[in-house]
Amino acid sequence: MKRSYLGEFEELVLLTVATLGQGAYGVAIADELDRQAGRPVSISAVHAALHRLEEKGMLTSHMGDATAERGGRRKRLFSVTALGSRTLHDIRDMRNRLWDNIAPNTLPATGIL
């Protein structure tokens, strides 16, 4: 199977959708990225990444119910597909292998890592 590659931001968005579960929509994803990663992002950047991930088959979406808090407008809710889940696991496994291959005392003790 050909592996789909993700940029860092797409990976963070996909992970955030997985974290939020049923409540994953644009504003909630942007808020969670800011909270978890200390990385404020524009809602348009989040929507662009969501669109790319859906085109790649890693996310699906559907329209949720109308809510009073949004003036009766509906939210587009996102969920991770089987391909998205496999991709996240593959990325984690690859990163873990790379970290495991770093020899002890190779990295400077700067407090960063």
Q: Report the alpha-carbon distance of residue 47 to residue 90 in Å, rounded.
A: 24
Cα–Cα nearest to 33, from 13, 49, 7, 11: 13
CATH fold label, 8-65+74-98: Arc Repressor Mutant, subunit A (1.10.10)
Rounded mean pLDDT, 44-65 = 94
54, containing H or E segment: helix 43-55
3-state SS assignment for residue 44: helix
Give the other-Cβ count within 10 Å of 70's Cβ.
Answer: 12
pTM: 0.82
Residues 14, 71: contact at Cβ < 8 Å?
A: no
User: Angle at which helices 8-20 and 43-55 pack, to 10 degrees?
Assistant: 90
Task: Locate the domains of the chain by residue range.
Answer: 8-65+74-98
Mean pLDDT of 37-59: 94
7-22 pLDDT tens trace: 999 999 999 999 999 8
